[in-house]
Protein backbone atom coordinates (compact mmCIF):
# COMPACT_ATOMS: atom_id res chain seq x y z
CA UNK A 1 0.00 0.00 0.00
CA UNK A 2 1.25 3.47 -0.96
CA UNK A 3 1.10 6.11 1.78
CA UNK A 4 0.57 9.88 1.62
CA UNK A 5 1.99 11.33 4.85
CA UNK A 6 0.50 14.67 5.95
CA UNK A 7 1.82 16.58 8.98
CA UNK A 8 4.76 14.18 8.74
CA UNK A 9 6.89 15.51 11.62
CA UNK A 10 10.07 13.43 11.52
CA UNK A 11 8.31 10.36 10.13
CA UNK A 12 7.25 8.40 13.22
CA UNK A 13 3.94 7.49 11.59
CA UNK A 14 5.69 6.68 8.31
CA UNK A 15 8.24 4.38 9.95
CA UNK A 16 5.54 2.38 11.69
CA UNK A 17 3.55 1.86 8.50
CA UNK A 18 6.68 0.99 6.54
CA UNK A 19 7.75 -1.53 9.20
CA UNK A 20 4.49 -3.35 8.51
CA UNK A 21 5.10 -3.39 4.76
CA UNK A 22 3.60 -0.16 3.43
CA UNK A 23 5.52 2.41 1.36
CA UNK A 24 5.60 6.18 1.87
CA UNK A 25 5.37 8.00 -1.48
CA UNK A 26 4.75 11.66 -0.54
CA UNK A 27 5.32 13.76 2.60
CA UNK A 28 4.06 17.16 3.75
CA UNK A 29 5.62 18.97 6.73
CA UNK A 30 5.97 22.71 7.40
CA UNK A 31 8.59 22.72 10.19
CA UNK A 32 12.04 23.41 8.74
CA UNK A 33 13.86 21.44 11.44
CA UNK A 34 11.66 18.37 10.98
CA UNK A 35 12.19 18.62 7.22
CA UNK A 36 15.95 18.29 7.67
CA UNK A 37 15.29 14.89 9.28
CA UNK A 38 12.82 13.83 6.59
CA UNK A 39 15.33 14.79 3.91
CA UNK A 40 17.97 12.64 5.57
CA UNK A 41 15.88 9.48 5.85
CA UNK A 42 13.62 9.94 2.79
CA UNK A 43 15.88 11.97 0.47
CA UNK A 44 14.17 11.05 -2.78
CA UNK A 45 10.52 11.40 -1.83
CA UNK A 46 8.50 14.31 -3.23
CA UNK A 47 7.67 16.74 -0.41
CA UNK A 48 5.58 19.83 0.25
CA UNK A 49 5.79 22.28 3.14
CA UNK A 50 2.42 24.02 3.54
CA UNK A 51 -0.60 21.74 3.77
CA UNK A 52 -2.91 24.68 3.07
CA UNK A 53 -1.42 25.11 -0.42
CA UNK A 54 -1.01 21.43 -1.25
CA UNK A 55 -3.54 20.14 -3.78
CA UNK A 56 -4.73 16.71 -4.76
CA UNK A 57 -3.77 17.44 -8.35
CA UNK A 58 -0.14 18.11 -7.36
CA UNK A 59 0.02 14.91 -5.32
CA UNK A 60 -1.26 12.61 -8.06
CA UNK A 61 1.17 14.20 -10.50
CA UNK A 62 4.05 12.91 -8.36
CA UNK A 63 2.36 9.91 -6.73
CA UNK A 64 -0.60 8.66 -8.81
CA UNK A 65 -1.45 5.83 -6.40
CA UNK A 66 -2.39 6.78 -2.82
CA UNK A 67 -3.83 3.85 -0.90
CA UNK A 68 -3.49 5.33 2.57
CA UNK A 69 -3.51 8.89 3.91
CA UNK A 70 -1.73 8.91 7.28
CA UNK A 71 -2.09 12.13 9.19
CA UNK A 72 -2.07 13.61 12.65
CA UNK A 73 -3.24 17.20 12.33
CA UNK A 74 -2.03 19.60 15.04
CA UNK A 75 -3.47 18.85 18.46
CA UNK A 76 -2.87 22.10 20.38
CA UNK A 77 -6.44 23.38 20.19
CA UNK A 78 -7.93 19.97 21.04
CA UNK A 79 -5.63 19.12 23.94
CA UNK A 80 -6.81 19.58 27.51
CA UNK A 81 -3.48 21.35 28.08
CA UNK A 82 -4.33 24.07 25.56
CA UNK A 83 -6.95 26.80 25.31
CA UNK A 84 -9.36 24.30 23.74
CA UNK A 85 -10.38 26.37 20.77
CA UNK A 86 -11.18 23.08 19.07
CA UNK A 87 -11.51 22.78 15.32
CA UNK A 88 -12.00 26.54 15.15
CA UNK A 89 -8.44 27.03 16.43
CA UNK A 90 -5.67 28.12 14.09
CA UNK A 91 -3.64 24.92 14.50
CA UNK A 92 -6.19 22.14 14.96
CA UNK A 93 -8.36 23.74 12.30
CA UNK A 94 -5.83 22.38 9.80
CA UNK A 95 -7.84 19.16 10.08
CA UNK A 96 -10.10 20.69 7.43
CA UNK A 97 -7.14 21.01 5.05
CA UNK A 98 -6.50 17.30 5.39
CA UNK A 99 -10.13 16.53 4.59
CA UNK A 100 -9.96 18.90 1.61
CA UNK A 101 -6.94 17.02 0.25
CA UNK A 102 -8.71 13.67 0.64
CA UNK A 103 -11.73 15.00 -1.27
CA UNK A 104 -9.50 16.42 -4.00
CA UNK A 105 -7.63 13.12 -4.34
CA UNK A 106 -10.92 11.27 -4.72
CA UNK A 107 -12.04 13.74 -7.38
CA UNK A 108 -8.75 13.53 -9.28
CA UNK A 109 -8.84 9.71 -9.29
CA UNK A 110 -12.59 9.26 -9.92
CA UNK A 111 -13.10 7.95 -6.38
CA UNK A 112 -10.38 5.30 -6.59
CA UNK A 113 -7.93 6.85 -4.10
CA UNK A 114 -7.35 7.10 -1.23
CA UNK A 115 -8.69 3.78 -0.08
CA UNK A 116 -8.01 4.35 3.64
CA UNK A 117 -7.44 7.28 6.00
CA UNK A 118 -5.69 6.92 9.36
CA UNK A 119 -6.08 10.03 11.54
CA UNK A 120 -4.23 10.35 14.86
CA UNK A 121 -4.62 12.87 17.65
CA UNK A 122 -4.69 13.46 21.40
CA UNK A 123 -7.44 11.92 23.51
CA UNK A 124 -8.71 15.43 24.20
CA UNK A 125 -10.16 15.35 20.68
CA UNK A 126 -12.91 13.11 22.02
CA UNK A 127 -14.40 15.72 24.35
CA UNK A 128 -13.35 18.98 22.71
CA UNK A 129 -16.38 21.30 22.75
CA UNK A 130 -18.24 18.61 24.69
CA UNK A 131 -17.74 16.07 21.93
CA UNK A 132 -19.05 18.26 19.11
CA UNK A 133 -15.64 18.52 17.45
CA UNK A 134 -15.20 14.76 17.32
CA UNK A 135 -18.67 14.47 15.82
CA UNK A 136 -17.56 16.91 13.11
CA UNK A 137 -14.44 14.82 12.47
CA UNK A 138 -16.49 11.64 11.97
CA UNK A 139 -19.06 13.42 9.82
CA UNK A 140 -16.35 14.96 7.63
CA UNK A 141 -14.88 11.50 7.04
CA UNK A 142 -18.33 10.25 6.03
CA UNK A 143 -18.97 13.21 3.73
CA UNK A 144 -15.61 12.57 2.06
CA UNK A 145 -16.92 9.13 1.11
CA UNK A 146 -15.95 6.81 3.97
CA UNK A 147 -18.05 3.64 4.03
CA UNK A 148 -16.70 2.31 7.32
CA UNK A 149 -15.36 4.41 10.19
CA UNK A 150 -13.91 3.03 13.39
CA UNK A 151 -11.99 4.70 16.20
CA UNK A 152 -10.10 3.47 19.22
CA UNK A 153 -7.84 4.96 21.88
CA UNK A 154 -4.48 3.17 21.99
CA UNK A 155 -1.73 3.54 24.57
CA UNK A 156 1.88 3.08 23.42
CA UNK A 157 2.83 1.36 26.66
CA UNK A 158 0.97 -1.75 25.49
CA UNK A 159 2.90 -1.91 22.22
CA UNK A 160 6.44 -2.46 23.45
CA UNK A 161 7.66 0.97 24.60
CA UNK A 162 7.72 2.12 28.26
CA UNK A 163 5.80 5.36 27.71
CA UNK A 164 2.22 6.10 28.69
CA UNK A 165 1.05 7.74 25.47
CA UNK A 166 -2.71 7.65 24.80
CA UNK A 167 -3.80 8.64 21.32
CA UNK A 168 -7.06 8.33 19.42
CA UNK A 169 -6.88 6.76 15.97
CA UNK A 170 -9.74 7.07 13.47
CA UNK A 171 -9.75 4.59 10.60
CA UNK A 172 -11.90 5.49 7.58
CA UNK A 173 -12.35 3.01 4.73
CA UNK A 174 -13.30 4.52 1.36
CA UNK A 175 -12.77 1.46 -0.86
CA UNK A 176 -16.03 -0.57 -1.11
CA UNK A 177 -14.08 -3.82 -1.52
CA UNK A 178 -12.09 -3.25 1.65
CA UNK A 179 -15.22 -2.02 3.44
CA UNK A 180 -16.99 -5.28 2.64
CA UNK A 181 -14.02 -7.22 4.05
CA UNK A 182 -13.97 -5.33 7.33
CA UNK A 183 -14.59 -7.51 10.38
CA UNK A 184 -17.07 -6.41 13.01
CA UNK A 185 -14.18 -4.79 14.87
CA UNK A 186 -11.29 -3.74 12.67
CA UNK A 187 -8.84 -3.01 15.51
CA UNK A 188 -9.03 -5.94 17.95
CA UNK A 189 -8.48 -4.07 21.20
CA UNK A 190 -10.47 -5.14 24.19
CA UNK A 191 -13.19 -2.74 23.12
CA UNK A 192 -13.49 -0.15 20.37
CA UNK A 193 -16.37 1.71 18.83
CA UNK A 194 -17.03 0.87 15.17
CA UNK A 195 -19.33 3.00 13.08
CA UNK A 196 -20.46 1.21 9.92
CA UNK A 197 -22.17 3.58 7.52
CA UNK A 198 -23.16 1.12 4.79
CA UNK A 199 -24.50 -1.71 6.90
CA UNK A 200 -25.88 -2.06 10.39
CA UNK A 201 -24.04 -4.33 12.79
CA UNK A 202 -24.45 -4.66 16.55
CA UNK A 203 -21.49 -3.49 18.59
CA UNK A 204 -19.53 -6.44 19.91
CA UNK A 205 -19.06 -6.36 23.66
CA UNK A 206 -15.94 -8.43 24.30
CA UNK A 207 -14.59 -9.07 27.75
CA UNK A 208 -12.10 -6.45 28.85
CA UNK A 209 -8.62 -7.94 28.91
CA UNK A 210 -6.80 -7.67 32.22
CA UNK A 211 -4.04 -5.75 30.46
CA UNK A 212 -6.39 -3.09 29.13
CA UNK A 213 -7.41 0.02 31.03
CA UNK A 214 -10.43 2.19 30.33
CA UNK A 215 -10.80 5.92 29.93
CA UNK A 216 -13.42 7.05 32.42
CA UNK A 217 -16.44 4.79 32.59
CA UNK A 218 -17.68 4.81 29.01
CA UNK A 219 -15.82 1.75 27.76
CA UNK A 220 -13.18 3.49 25.68
CA UNK A 221 -9.99 1.50 25.78
CA UNK A 222 -6.38 2.56 26.02
CA UNK A 223 -4.52 -0.69 25.59
CA UNK A 224 -4.57 -3.70 23.34
CA UNK A 225 -4.63 -7.34 24.28
CA UNK A 226 -1.33 -8.24 22.65
CA UNK A 227 1.42 -6.86 24.88
CA UNK A 228 1.58 -6.55 28.66
CA UNK A 229 2.22 -3.24 30.44
CA UNK A 230 5.78 -2.11 31.02
CA UNK A 231 7.14 -0.69 34.26
CA UNK A 232 10.20 0.92 35.81
CA UNK A 233 12.40 -2.06 35.00
CA UNK A 234 12.06 -1.05 31.35
CA UNK A 235 13.11 2.49 32.16
CA UNK A 236 16.12 0.96 33.86
CA UNK A 237 17.14 -0.69 30.60
CA UNK A 238 17.26 2.57 28.70
CA UNK A 239 19.60 3.93 31.36
CA UNK A 240 22.19 1.16 31.18
CA UNK A 241 24.78 3.27 29.38
CA UNK A 242 24.50 6.01 32.00
CA UNK A 243 24.90 3.41 34.74
CA UNK A 244 28.05 1.94 33.20
CA UNK A 245 29.64 5.34 32.70
CA UNK A 246 28.92 6.56 36.21
CA UNK A 247 29.37 3.25 38.08
CA UNK A 248 26.23 3.78 40.13
CA UNK A 249 23.59 1.42 41.47
CA UNK A 250 20.26 2.21 39.87
CA UNK A 251 16.73 1.73 41.13
CA UNK A 252 15.01 4.34 38.94
CA UNK A 253 11.84 6.26 39.57
CA UNK A 254 10.08 8.21 36.86
CA UNK A 255 9.46 11.88 37.52
CA UNK A 256 7.14 14.21 35.66
CA UNK A 257 8.80 17.60 35.89
CA UNK A 258 6.38 19.26 33.48
CA UNK A 259 3.75 20.00 36.11
CA UNK A 260 3.29 23.42 37.65
CA UNK A 261 4.40 23.90 41.27
CA UNK A 262 5.00 20.23 41.98
CA UNK A 263 6.96 17.16 40.94
CA UNK A 264 5.02 13.93 40.51
CA UNK A 265 6.69 10.52 40.90
CA UNK A 266 5.38 7.40 39.17
CA UNK A 267 6.07 3.68 39.41
CA UNK A 268 4.60 3.06 35.98
CA UNK A 269 5.94 3.81 32.47
CA UNK A 270 7.35 7.19 31.53
CA UNK A 271 4.67 9.86 31.23
CA UNK A 272 3.67 11.13 27.80
CA UNK A 273 6.45 12.94 25.93
CA UNK A 274 5.05 16.37 25.18
CA UNK A 275 5.32 18.72 22.23
CA UNK A 276 6.70 21.47 24.49
CA UNK A 277 9.78 19.43 25.42
CA UNK A 278 12.95 21.36 24.77
CA UNK A 279 11.26 24.73 24.99
CA UNK A 280 12.49 25.58 28.49
CA UNK A 281 10.84 25.39 31.89
CA UNK A 282 12.09 21.86 32.69
CA UNK A 283 9.63 20.38 30.20
CA UNK A 284 11.56 17.11 29.91
CA UNK A 285 10.75 13.87 31.80
CA UNK A 286 13.37 12.81 34.34
CA UNK A 287 14.75 9.74 36.04
CA UNK A 288 15.72 9.63 39.72
CA UNK A 289 17.99 6.98 41.22
CA UNK A 290 20.30 6.26 44.16
CA UNK A 291 23.89 7.39 43.66
CA UNK A 292 27.10 7.89 45.53
CA UNK A 293 27.49 11.41 44.19
CA UNK A 294 26.09 13.28 47.18
CA UNK A 295 23.52 16.02 46.67
CA UNK A 296 23.45 19.60 45.57
CA UNK A 297 20.04 20.21 47.09
CA UNK A 298 18.95 20.67 50.67
CA UNK A 299 17.96 17.51 52.52
CA UNK A 300 14.18 17.21 52.82
CA UNK A 301 11.87 14.48 54.02
CA UNK A 302 9.44 12.54 51.81
CA UNK A 303 9.18 15.20 49.11
CA UNK A 304 11.53 16.43 46.43
CA UNK A 305 12.38 20.14 46.45
CA UNK A 306 11.70 22.29 43.40
CA UNK A 307 13.76 21.28 40.39
CA UNK A 308 15.63 24.26 38.97
CA UNK A 309 16.90 24.73 35.46
CA UNK A 310 20.21 26.03 36.87
CA UNK A 311 21.06 22.66 38.43
CA UNK A 312 23.46 20.68 36.22
CA UNK A 313 22.97 17.84 36.80
CA UNK A 314 20.15 18.39 39.32
CA UNK A 315 19.83 16.08 42.29
CA UNK A 316 17.64 15.89 45.37
CA UNK A 317 17.78 14.12 48.73
CA UNK A 318 14.91 12.20 50.28
CA UNK A 319 16.58 11.94 53.66
CA UNK A 320 19.95 12.39 55.29
CA UNK A 321 20.97 8.77 54.72
CA UNK A 322 20.04 8.37 51.04
CA UNK A 323 20.61 10.81 48.19
CA UNK A 324 18.69 10.82 44.95
CA UNK A 325 20.17 12.13 41.72
CA UNK A 326 17.83 13.45 39.07
CA UNK A 327 18.62 13.83 35.42
CA UNK A 328 16.66 14.55 32.29
CA UNK A 329 15.95 11.83 29.79
CA UNK A 330 18.32 12.13 26.86
CA UNK A 331 17.09 12.67 23.29
CA UNK A 332 18.24 9.12 22.52
CA UNK A 333 16.07 7.74 25.32
CA UNK A 334 13.12 9.78 24.07
CA UNK A 335 13.59 8.27 20.60
CA UNK A 336 13.52 4.80 22.14
CA UNK A 337 10.38 5.70 24.08
CA UNK A 338 8.77 6.48 20.72
CA UNK A 339 9.95 3.19 19.21
CA UNK A 340 12.21 4.99 16.75
CA UNK A 341 15.72 3.93 15.65
CA UNK A 342 18.59 5.26 17.75
CA UNK A 343 19.71 8.75 16.66
CA UNK A 344 16.85 9.10 14.20
CA UNK A 345 16.62 12.82 14.99
CA UNK A 346 20.30 13.44 15.68
CA UNK A 347 21.70 14.15 12.23
CA UNK A 348 20.33 16.49 9.59
CA UNK A 349 20.42 15.83 5.86
CA UNK A 350 23.72 17.69 5.53
CA UNK A 351 25.34 15.46 8.16
CA UNK A 352 25.50 18.07 10.92
CA UNK A 353 23.99 17.43 14.34
CA UNK A 354 20.65 18.87 15.31
CA UNK A 355 20.17 20.78 18.58
CA UNK A 356 18.68 18.76 21.43
CA UNK A 357 15.87 21.29 21.82
CA UNK A 358 14.55 20.36 18.37
CA UNK A 359 15.01 16.65 19.04
CA UNK A 360 12.95 16.79 22.24
CA UNK A 361 10.15 18.69 20.52
CA UNK A 362 10.12 16.29 17.59
CA UNK A 363 9.79 13.31 19.91
CA UNK A 364 6.97 14.96 21.83
CA UNK A 365 5.18 15.78 18.57
CA UNK A 366 5.57 12.38 16.97
CA UNK A 367 3.65 9.14 16.60
CA UNK A 368 4.88 6.05 18.44
CA UNK A 369 5.89 3.83 15.53
CA UNK A 370 4.96 0.45 17.10
CA UNK A 371 1.32 1.57 17.41
CA UNK A 372 1.21 2.65 13.76
CA UNK A 373 2.83 -0.64 12.75
CA UNK A 374 0.18 -2.64 14.63
CA UNK A 375 -2.63 -0.72 12.94
CA UNK A 376 -1.03 -1.19 9.52
CA UNK A 377 -0.78 -4.95 9.99
CA UNK A 378 -4.52 -5.17 10.52
CA UNK A 379 -5.23 -3.00 7.50
CA UNK A 380 -2.94 -5.12 5.35
CA UNK A 381 -4.96 -8.18 6.35
CA UNK A 382 -7.90 -6.64 4.48
CA UNK A 383 -5.75 -6.26 1.39
CA UNK A 384 -4.58 -9.87 1.59
CA UNK A 385 -8.08 -11.34 1.68
CA UNK A 386 -9.34 -12.92 -1.53
Q: How confident is the model over 197-224, as pLDDT tens digits?
A: 544 333 333 322 222 222 222 222 223 3
Structurally, how many domains does the chain consist of?
2
pLDDT recorded at residue 317: 37
Across residues 58-65, what is the average pLDDT?
A: 97
Q: Looking at the structure, do residues 331 and 240 belong to the same domain, yes or no?
A: yes
Query: Which residue stretches of 42-131 are H helix?
Result: 56-62, 95-108
**CA atoms of 228 and 225, how far apart (whole Å):** 8
Q: Looking at the structure, do residues 204 and 93 belong to the same domain, yes or no?
A: yes
pLDDT recorded at residue 256: 52
Query: 8: exposed, middle or buried (C-beta count within 10 Å: 0-12, 13-18, 19+)?
Result: buried
pLDDT recorded at residue 174: 97
Which residue range forms the structural domain that includes residue 257?
232-365
Q: Looking at the structure, do residues 324 and 188 belong to the same domain, yes or no?
A: no
Q: Looking at the structure, do residues 261 and 242 belong to the same domain, yes or no?
A: yes
| Residue 224 near residue 189, CB atoms below 8 Å | yes
Q: Looking at the structure, do residues 205 and 285 belong to the same domain, yes or no?
A: no
**Average pLDDT of the chain to the nearest whole number:** 73
Three-state DSSP at 319 gives coil
**CA atoms of 340 and 273, how far apart (whole Å):** 13
Q: Looking at the structure, do residues 241 and 351 belong to the same domain, yes or no?
A: yes
**Which residues are catalytically annotated?**
75
Residue with the larger pLDDT of the pair 93 and 175: 175
Across residues 65-70, what is the average pLDDT?
A: 98
Q: Looking at the structure, do residues 254 and 196 belong to the same domain, yes or no?
A: no
Q: Looking at the structure, do residues 262 and 141 belong to the same domain, yes or no?
A: no
Pairing state between β 68-71 and 116-122: parallel
Q: Looking at the structure, do residues 321 and 195 belong to the same domain, yes or no?
A: no
CATH of the domain at 105: 3.40.50.150
- What pLDDT digit, counting tens, does each position of 164-176 carry? 888 999 999 999 9
pLDDT recorded at residue 373: 96
Q: Looking at the structure, do residues 120 and 256 belong to the same domain, yes or no?
A: no
- What pLDDT digit, counting tens, does each position of 118-162 carry? 999 988 888 878 888 889 899 999 999 999 999 999 999 889 888
Q: Looking at the structure, do residues 50 and 167 belong to the same domain, yes or no?
A: yes
Q: Looking at the structure, do residues 206 and 262 belong to the same domain, yes or no?
A: no
Amino acid sequence: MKVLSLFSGVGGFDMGLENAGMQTVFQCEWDKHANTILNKHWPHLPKWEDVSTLTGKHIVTHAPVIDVVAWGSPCQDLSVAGKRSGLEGERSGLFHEGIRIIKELRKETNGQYPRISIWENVVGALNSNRGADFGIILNEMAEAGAMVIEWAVLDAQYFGVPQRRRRVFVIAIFDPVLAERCPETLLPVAESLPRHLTKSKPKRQSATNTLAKSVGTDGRILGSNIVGPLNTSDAKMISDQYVRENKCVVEPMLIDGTRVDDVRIYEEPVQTLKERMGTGGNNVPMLAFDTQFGSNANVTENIAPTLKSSQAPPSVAYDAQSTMAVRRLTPLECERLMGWPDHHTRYKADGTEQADTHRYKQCGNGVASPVAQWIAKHLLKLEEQK
